[in-house]
A and B are shown apart, each in its own frame.
Chain A
Amino acid sequence: MTDSRRIRIDVPALTRVEGEGSLKLAIDKGRIEQLQLSIFEPPRYFEKFLEGREYKEVPDIVARICGICPVAYQMTAVQALEQAFGFTPSPWVERMRRLFYCGEWLQSHALHIHLLALPDYLGFDSAIAMAAKHPEAVQRGLALQALGNAIIRLFGGRSVHPVGACVGGFHHAPTPADVADLHQRLLNALEDARALTRWCALLPLPEDDDDFVCVALTHDTEYPFYAGRLTGSDGLSIDAAQWDNHFREDHAPHSTALWSLYQGKPYLVGPLARLNLNLDRLPDAVRDNLEQTGIDLPSRNMFHSMVARAVEIEVALHEAIALTATYEYPERPNDPVTPRAGVGFGATEAPRGLLWHRYETDAEGLIKSARIVPPTSQNQARIEQDLHRSLQNFGLAHSDDELRLHCEKVIRNYDPCISCSTHFLTLDLERRD
């Protein structure tokens, strides 16, 4: 069918994303005239709040950037501040930070798959409506989410804005009995997590190959959460301190988030980028399960992000099982930190992708300046680029509802966290003949 319609679709809110944004789409004579992802969540000026605050306050302040990934913000901040102070955390602290982080991947990925993305593929508006028809799938997802929250609570007291992390380590250490209970719960969830990956791979995910640069941490021996070099699929391999030599932040008129570009171009961060760059770091059992799905990796299809999230749920479970199996109650959960004037960088893998921080401190440990680059502002340019290509590939002759759903699926592949990048989505579609 040739399309000579002139149509305007106005959806004042994109649902099932974190935060507020809008999408403008104008199609003229079957050609995309305008396609713009706008982020209009009001800016909250975190980098400025941090100036003049004491280093000890930073983990509690940066957590408030995002209700879904507060652990990522806390872990990146403590890493950067410890570097500024020339402090090396104990091996126990390093291991427990990794375990803490596993909790956040589990809850965030399970929430995204089940409550945000899955309704698109099973034909529902919401997970609540979906639960009536697919109770087992939804219950399995909510159970995995709850398990992730349980890990965060063990170290943080609560799963949103946890209170346990500090520069130097943790405020308290969980008891061996509590860790042993958690260990058993993690073991019990393994089969569900394996089944979830295979189930996600069977969903009607579109074939939609594209070309893009992946950026993620990589590490010699482990799948990256909290440590590693900053690498790219084009051969990039740098330390977090060298960020500014390769990445640049820009500001577009339709957005309250800053855009980050690599060598002047869009790039991908997040689960698919991580998986593509870290296939050889997968635990054997996870790799075997993934191979059974028949999905070829590395993948150029952004719709495989759903499967990548499921795989990372398995990775987080395996890691958490290993870390809880060898748990020992420490002599002390943190070591004293002596502040000094300095500059420190942090780079860790938030559920949605690479998170980068830089702090400059004075001799008393007060923050002189702070810079934070969240994953969603890194992906934003890439999302617009992908929307253009993916819509053409999908075909503009589809109905307005189909076009809108396709746009929303493409956007949700990135699990945008708009509160982090500043916040939500309106689709404004106009077609002219």
Chain B
Amino acid sequence: MIKIDTKPRIAVHKFSSCDGCQLAFLNLGGELLELTRRVEIRHFLEAGLDDPDAEVDIAFVEGSLSTQDEIERIHRVRDASRYLITIGACATAGGLQALRNLDNQHDQWRDAIYAKPEFIKTLNHARPIANEVRVDFELWGCPINSRQLLAAVNALLFGVPPIDERDKVCLECKRQQRVCVMITEDKPCLGPVTRTGCGALCPGFGRDCYGCYGPSDNPNTASLSRRFAGIGLLPEAIARRFLMINSGAPAFHDAGLIARSGAHGGDSDD
């Protein structure tokens, strides 16, 4: 990784998303002003900075690709950026809207919601950024938080690659000495297969993790699925656990479809 010597220029781009990951910047408070002393923000529409084709050192990209226009736009962003970092589940794995990829029902859904579907021009699939262009670093999470964002920016300012946090939520939860919600309450917690970064918020509140940070390193989804079946979840319910915020991430996608095939009487790996 090459050190960026002058005041680095950054851009924040939005694609199909809820705008929640950009808030990791706008919710920084006083630190937002401090950040602007250390980097120059060239493009960030919601903050009022409009220069989409500006050459930058780091482009942060929120949202998934779901229209032809977005696909053309992401290539321009890639061409104008030294490093491209995806922020959040949508940019990194397709997000919640990637649920529409599962059943190829985009056209039926569009026709059911919109009175005049011919006005709607979207692609059948909502896809992660890396499907179309090279991505240098990914920040997982729905949403990402300011700590992750600043850690990545600081690492790049020091000229080192950002640390990729791939541990499991389960480990973070143990370090916090939380009582396990799966062992004590039979709740179908995704902590054993989900990437850390949130601070184990859900088990901290006594509820089961729902996987919003995506798959961890070496996720043993088959074993966890069997455990879910053991605490009484039907195959469709197991499938829904994996197929929610990060249904486009391969580990969760495959685990979800395997559970579904069990529900439909097909072959299962159990």
Binding site for B on A (CB under 8 A): 11-13, 15-20, 41-49, 53-54, 57, 60-61, 64-68, 70, 107, 111, 115-116, 119, 124-129, 131, 138-139, 142-143, 145-146, 149, 157-161, 163-164, 166, 171-172, 249-256, 258, 419, 423-424
Q: A67-B143, A143-B29, A145-B29 are in contact. Are A161 and B122 (CB under 8 A)?
A: no
| CB within 8 Å: A-B pair count | 187
Contact, CB under 8 Å: A18 / B19: yes
Contact, CB under 8 Å: B46 / A16: yes
Q: In the complex, which residues 21-50 of chain B have their Cβ closer than 8 Å to any Cβ of chain A?
A: 21-24, 26-27, 29-30, 32-33, 36, 41, 44-50
List the B residue with the shortest CB-CB distance to A250: B115
Contact, CB under 8 Å: A253 / B201: no
CA distance A146 to B113 in the complex (A): 37
Across-interface contacts of B70 in A (CB, < 8 A): 42
Q: Which of A20, A64, A124 contacts B96 (CB 8 A)?
A: A64
Q: A15-B46, A157-B204 are in contact. Are A68 and B23 (CB under 8 A)?
A: yes
Q: In the complex, which residues 172-231 of chain B have their Cβ closer than 8 Å to any Cβ of chain A?
A: 198-199, 201-202, 204-207, 210, 212
Across-interface contacts of B49 in A (CB, < 8 A): 15, 125-126, 128
Q: In the complex, which residues 47-81 of chain B have their Cβ closer than 8 Å to any Cβ of chain A?
A: 47-50, 52, 66-67, 70
Q: Which of A42, A49, A129 contacts B16 (CB 8 A)?
A: A42
Across-interface contacts of A13 in B (CB, < 8 A): 45, 50, 52
In the A-B complex, list the 6 residue pairs whose CB atoms are closest, starting with the nearest. Answer: A67-B20, A126-B48, A157-B201, A251-B115, A48-B109, A172-B205
Q: How far is the CB of A401 from chain B (nearest CB, A)?
A: 14
Q: Which of A48, A111, A129, A251 contacts B119 (CB 8 A)?
A: A251
Chain A CB within 8 A of B1 CB? no
CA distance A45 to B105 in the complex (A): 11
Q: How far is the CB of A64 from chain B (nearest CB, A)?
A: 5
Contact, CB under 8 Å: B20 / A70: yes
Chain A CB within 8 A of B244 CB? yes
CA distance A74 to B67 in the complex (A): 28
Contact, CB under 8 Å: A160 / B27: yes
Contact, CB under 8 Å: A48 / B113: yes
Q: A164-B205, A171-B205, A256-B120 are in contact. Are A60 and B48 (CB under 8 A)?
A: no
Please give 18 more A-B residue pairs, beta carbons under 8 A apart, in addition to A65-B18, A115-B47.
A13-B52, A15-B45, A15-B49, A18-B46, A43-B113, A44-B96, A49-B99, A54-B237, A54-B240, A64-B95, A67-B22, A160-B20, A171-B202, A171-B207, A251-B116, A256-B114, A258-B114, A419-B19
Would you give the 0/1 interface string for B239-251, flagging 1 where the beta carbon is closer than 8 Å to chain A?
0100011000000
Q: Which of A45, A125, A171 contacts B109 (CB 8 A)?
A: A45
Contact, CB under 8 Å: A128 / B47: yes
Q: Which of A19, A60, A142 contacts B210 (CB 8 A)?
A: A60
Q: Which of B48, B95, B198 contacts A16 (CB 8 A)?
A: B48
List the A residue with the shortest CB-CB distance to B201: A157
Contact, CB under 8 Å: A139 / B30: yes
Q: How far is the CB of B181 from chain A (nearest CB, A)?
A: 10
27 A–B contacts from the bound complex (CB under 8 Å)? A12-B52, A16-B46, A41-B16, A43-B113, A44-B97, A45-B100, A45-B110, A45-B113, A46-B96, A57-B210, A57-B244, A61-B96, A116-B48, A125-B49, A128-B32, A128-B36, A138-B33, A145-B27, A157-B199, A157-B204, A160-B24, A161-B142, A166-B207, A251-B114, A253-B116, A419-B18, A423-B14
Q: How many residues of B contact A (CB 8 A)?
A: 64
Contact, CB under 8 Å: B32 / A171: no
Across-interface contacts of A68 in B (CB, < 8 A): 19-20, 23
Q: How far is the CB of B41 from chain A (nearest CB, A)?
A: 7
Would you give the 0/1 interface string for B95-136, flagging 1 where the beta carbon is closer than 8 Å to chain A?
111011000011001101111100110100010000000000
CA distance A146 to B18 in the complex (A): 20
Across-interface contacts of B202 in A (CB, < 8 A): 157, 163, 171
List the B residue with the shortest CB-CB distance to A164: B205
Across-interface contacts of B112 in A (CB, < 8 A): 48
Contact, CB under 8 Å: B96 / A127: no
Q: How far is the CB of B223 from chain A (nearest CB, A)?
A: 23
Chain A CB within 8 A of B92 CB? no
Across-interface contacts of A250 in B (CB, < 8 A): 115
Q: Which of A42, A149, A161, A251 has the most CB of B within 10 A?
A: A42
Across-interface contacts of B16 in A (CB, < 8 A): 41-42, 44, 423
Across-interface contacts of B105 in A (CB, < 8 A): 48
Contact, CB under 8 Å: A142 / B30: yes
List the A residue with the shortest CB-CB distance to B70: A42
Across-interface contacts of B17 in A (CB, < 8 A): 67, 419
Contact, CB under 8 Å: A424 / B45: yes
Contact, CB under 8 Å: A163 / B201: yes
Q: How far is the CB of A416 from chain B (nearest CB, A)?
A: 12
Q: Which of A48, A60, A70, A127 has the most CB of B within 10 A?
A: A48
Across-interface contacts of A160 in B (CB, < 8 A): 20-21, 23-24, 27, 143
List the B residue with the shortest CB-CB distance to A149: B27
Contact, CB under 8 Å: B48 / A15: yes
Q: How far is the CB of A385 from chain B (nearest CB, A)?
A: 20
Chain A CB within 8 A of B86 CB? no
Q: Which of B33, B97, B201, B206 contacts A131 (CB 8 A)?
A: B33
Across-interface contacts of A111 in B (CB, < 8 A): 26
CA distance A64 to B19 in the complex (A): 9
Q: How far is the CB of B88 from chain A (nearest CB, A)?
A: 9
List the A residue with the shortest CB-CB distance to B204: A157
Q: How far is the CB of A17 from chain B (nearest CB, A)?
A: 7
Across-interface contacts of B66 in A (CB, < 8 A): 42, 44
CA distance A350 to B126 in the complex (A): 28
Across-interface contacts of B23 in A (CB, < 8 A): 67-68, 159-160
Contact, CB under 8 Å: B29 / A142: yes
Contact, CB under 8 Å: B244 / A61: yes
CA distance A124 to B47 in the complex (A): 11
CA distance A8 to B95 in the complex (A): 38
Q: How far is the CB of B131 from chain A (nearest CB, A)?
A: 16
Q: How far is the CB of A102 from chain B (nearest CB, A)?
A: 17
